[in-house]
Amino acid sequence: MLTILFDGIAYGMLLFVLACGLSVTLGLMNLVNLAHGAFAMAGGYVLVLLVNDLGVPFWASIVCAFFVSALIGLVMEKALYVHIYRKSHLDQVLFTIGLVFMSVAAADYAMGSSQVFARIPDALQGQIHVFGIGMGRYRLMIIAICGGLALALQYVLVYTRFGSRLRAAVDDQRVARGLGINVGSIFALTFAFGSGLAGLGGALGTEILGLDPTFPLKYMIYFLIVVTVGGTSSITGPFLASLLLGIADVAGKYYVPKLGAFVIYTIMIVVLIWRPQGLFARAANK
Amino acid sequence: MTEPTPTAKLATQGILARARWHPLEFVFWIVAFGSIWFAPNKHLILTEIAWLALFALSLDLILGYAGILSLGHAAFFGVGSYAAALLAKHGIVTEPVLALFCAGLVAAVLGFATSFLMLRGADLTRLMVSLGVALVLRELANQFGWLTGGADGLQGVTMEPILGLFRFDMFGHNGYVYCLVVLFVLFLAARRLMASPFGLSLLAIKGNPLRARAIGIGVDMRLVAIYTIGGFYAGVAGGLLAQTTAFSSLDVFSFDRSADLLLVLIIGGTGYLYGGIIGAVIFKIMQDYLALWSPQYWPFWIGLVLVVMVLVGRDRMTRWSEPLRALVNRLDWRRTPS
């Protein structure tokens, strides 16, 4: 029971790191980015390549995965995404689906279609027992890293100058522009950082989520659930939503394996009908 | 009877002008039916084009006319497909045309039920809900293996002859004629519907829901109606697939199918009914060539087409046909000088 809770929390934390970049892009630029999972996949493959083929230490590779994905995000934002902010949602959906298809085929071409795993250092394997609860070391590490990241993000968002600018831009872009805030550059930075976080999540998640070329398609719906259920106005919303989703998914798969992913989708539809703005969001003021 | 005001006359004329057949449309359908004779060895792919065109037409009704963004349109397609296959397999309704109608009705009921979910929220919410419905149905079809055959698909379906006369032959000749006639009949119905005041009010809703409401158009009712009709069309398209292949599998609900469908419609252009049909022709030919050329990686090129189309701008992509249309307009003998 507690082990399931523990696994669920680890899973949820991972989802949060994967999806929080998406929630910012959606809130800030009203951009429906279905291709977010592609950045996560890039991070995962960077980790696998570095650890398995080049023998780089695990921790260094994780950091690399973050920076590589962030770099890809930055380049993509400057080169492609800037052109579609002002277009309709239909155009954004088409564009990002196109990117998903391309990334899936490209990953298939470059890395092969089978599932890959990264070699994990011995220190992270096995379980430790605390108060009779078996906890996987790898999952414990994920909770530590992701929890730390969530706290850091909350701190940056609430207490720093950049954070207040970002919040101002999300609340009302036009007024923020009028006050001299450079929304474009804030967005570029946030997009890159969000992509980096997705890459980090993808790298950490290779062990739990599995990594193959269909990753962006398979988990797209999960990221979108986190964002739509959690709302886009804060970071706590997506955080709680991803914990909820993680626990519900793990528990659902354990207790009622026959129903599979059915539980999650039904919960999502019900929540969206009940609170279209998200479970933890204030009413929209735009 | 009172004499109608000049404005009312003008409005009536405008509506009638929309309903009038354009010469290019005659050419289009003559070519379509001509393909029965001049391309007999291509009937299998033409059959696929026909049901895909009908499927895209159904999405055009809800996206191009009513402006509802859906990523789960495969839900109706899949339900129609399973309904048609199950009806045939268990011998409930053996006559294909009747069974097809039933399949459409089942999908329409689903469309009606889920349309209320689509009334709330903005684009993203609608996107997620429609996608969620399709995923839930896929899970259901997967779990009820005793009924649907689960992951193996529904096998052992035998189709009776159409109207008791025309057998589905292995070269797909009769199947193609059947699909084409169904497409044509449903197209006529959709064309009539969209040229009616109902269709025009949908366009008004798409343009600006708030303003449409303000001039007295019942927005919710109309969205429910068009979503139900769209469900019916998609269900019939799915039924055609099941009947011509005598098979149905989980693949009919997949996300790829909904995404591909968007591409089909976008290639052809939204909001004028022919978009779906033209898009289906181009998409299938393109897919055929790409699959031959790079069997494993063709989704990459499909994705590239999508990305390029959005970057170039969809309105600019369809502008190539303008000189042609202008030429035909000049040749149109019935045109009233304006």
The pTM of this model reads: 0.83
Provide the domain count of chain B.
Answer: 1
pLDDT in tens, A136-149: 788 888 888 888 88
Task: Name residue B69's amino acid.
Answer: L
Task: Collect all residues from A whose CB is shorter than 8 A from any CB in B.
Answer: 26, 32, 80, 83-84, 87, 89-95, 97-106, 108-109, 217, 221, 224-225, 228, 258-262, 265-266, 268-269, 272-273, 276
Please tell me the predicted confidence (pLDDT) of residue B54: 93
Nearest CB to B69 within list A89, A108, A228: A89
pLDDT in tens, B154-196: 777 777 777 777 777 767 788 888 899 999 999 999 988 888 8
When mean pLDDT is compared across A142-156, A244-258, B69-83, the lowest value belongs to A244-258
Burial letters B108-137, b for 16+ CB under 10 A, else e: bebbbebbebbeebebbbbbbbbbbbbbbb
Among A2-6, A46-50, B316-320, which range has the highest average pLDDT?
A: A46-50
ipTM of the complex: 0.79
Helix (H, G, I), strand (E, B) or coil at B248: strand
Token pair recorded at residue A211: 């990594």
User: What is the domain partition of chain A in residue ranges?
Assistant: 2-112+144-274
Q: Looking at the predicted structure, is the pLDDT value of residue B108 above 90?
A: yes
Please tell me the predicted confidence (pLDDT) of residue A131: 67
Please tell me the predicted confidence (pLDDT) of residue A176: 85
Whether the CB-CB separation of A70 and A194 falls below 8 Å is answered with no
Q: What residues of chain B lie within 8 A of the CB of A38, using their CB?
A: none
Q: What residues of chain B lie within 8 A of the CB of A26, using their CB?
A: 124
Q: State the nearest Cα–Cα gap between B67 and chain A, in angstroms.
A: 10
Please tell me the predicted confidence (pLDDT) of residue B80: 92
Nearest CB to B131 within list A100, A102, A221: A221
- Structural domain including B165 reads 40-255
B334, part of any domain: no
Residue of B nearest to A31 (CA): B124
8-state DSSP, A83: G
d(CA B69, CA B86): 30
Q: Looking at the predicted structure, is the pLDDT value of residue B1 above 60?
A: no
Q: State the nearest Cα–Cα gap between A99 and chain B, in angstroms.
A: 6
Closest alpha carbon to B162 in B148, B149, B180, B147 = B180
Q: Looking at the predicted structure, is the pLDDT value of residue B321 above 70?
A: no
Please tell me the predicted confidence (pLDDT) of residue B330: 67
Q: State the nearest Cα–Cα gap between B139 and chain A, in angstroms.
A: 6
Q: Looking at the predicted structure, is the pLDDT value of residue A285 above 60?
A: no
Half-sphere exposure in the Cβ direction for A257 (13 Å, CA): 1
Nearest CB to A105 within list B122, B140, B300: B300
How many CB pairs (< 8 A) connect A and B?
Answer: 125
Query: Which band of pLDDT confidence, cut at 50, 70 and 90, is reported for residue A235?
Result: confident
Q: Looking at the predicted structure, is the pLDDT value of residue A259 above 50?
A: yes
8-state DSSP, A130: E
Please tell me the predicted confidence (pLDDT) of residue B238: 92
Please tell me the predicted confidence (pLDDT) of residue B332: 60
B21, part of any domain: no
d(CA A32, CA B9): 44
Q: State the nearest Cα–Cα gap between B257 and chain A, in angstroms.
A: 12
Mean pLDDT score of chain A, rounded to an integer? 82
Inter-chain residue contact A276 with B262, CB threshold 8 Å: no
- Across the range A96-121, mean pLDDT stands at 83
Phi-psi category of residue B122: left, alpha or beta, with phi > 0 → left and psi -120 to 50 → alpha: beta
Specify which residues A211 forms β-bridges with. Answer: A116
Token pair recorded at residue B211: 């303003």
Whether the CB-CB separation of B97 and B241 falls below 8 Å is answered with no
pLDDT in tens, B258-286: 888 888 888 888 877 888 888 899 888 88
Nearest CB to B117 within list A32, A105, A273: A273
**Residues 6 or more apart from B174 whose CB is under 8 A from it?**
B162, B166, B167, B168
Q: What residues of chain B lie within 8 A of the CB of A213, using their CB?
A: none
Looking at the complex, does the CB of residue B312 fall below 8 Å from at least one CB of chain A?
no
B304, part of any domain: no
| Kind plus residue range of the DSSP H or E element containing A135 | strand A133-136
